[in-house]
Homo-oligomer: A and B are copies of this chain.
Amino acid sequence: MAQLDSCTFDNIPSWLTRYRSGQTVFAEGETANRIFRVESGCIRLQVNGSDGVRQIISFVFSGEFFGCSADDQSFSAEAVSATILRCWSTRSMLSCGARSVDVAIALINFANAQVSEMAHHLEKVSHLTATARVRWFLSNMRNREDLCKHSGRLDLPMTRRDIADYLSLSAETLSRTIQELEGEGFLQRAGRRGVWLRGQTPQPGIKEAQQCSPASPDDN
């Protein structure tokens, strides 16, 4: 999800709301009247298939925006964990965008980043094996420093089922894949939501200090 320049919106009135784990922020089809930024916690955006199967489109983390629409919401939003959101009125945001180039461009950029993310999500989910999907997901997650309380240790806010629905895998396959990656030394499970990442997948850009791990002998 897009990083909007927060300063751009500082002059527009906003307020805070609080959600419990699992609570719905808005549902698909609902009229969009607010834009949100995650202050703390995590939100999942999802569409529900006709057969009740759920596809998670995106996880939204601290500092990121969602819900920007001038029409109806095209997906629903639910809290993955206890979450605090900052809200703006869509109306005031748009009318401000009509007066300020910065705001208008920020909104366009935001929407475009969303499209970009989804396009690549679709590409990954369609063409990668289960193992590659999980590696891709974890590599994305490790770049969010707010999830890494300790170096290399990921504390994921979402359940296995959430991850499975994000990657279009069954929960069983996801579990087996994680087990397999643990056998390879790529990761180590720590409780139900925690993961120690060992394999230093060279991410584009940042590479942070690893602890005592030897350079991964296995291939990527």
* A interface, CB within 8 angstroms of B: 45, 47, 49-51, 53, 55, 57, 68-71, 74-75, 94-95, 97-101, 104-105, 107-109, 111-116, 118-127, 168, 205
Q: Which residue of B lies closest to A118 (CB)?
A: B118
| A112 touches which of B51, B104, B111 (Cβ 8 Å) | B111
Interchain CA distance A50-B120 in the complex, whole Å: 11
Does A115 contact B74, Cβ atoms closer than 8 Å? yes
How many angstroms between the C-alpha atoms of A123 and B45 in the bound complex?
12
Closest residue of B by beta carbon distance from A96: B104
- The answer, among B68, B100, B118, for a CB contact under 8 Å with A108, is B68
Chain B residues with CB under 8 A of A49: 123-124, 127
Known: A47-B123, A115-B115. 5 other contacts (CB 8 A): A47-B122, A55-B119, A97-B108, A108-B111, A118-B118
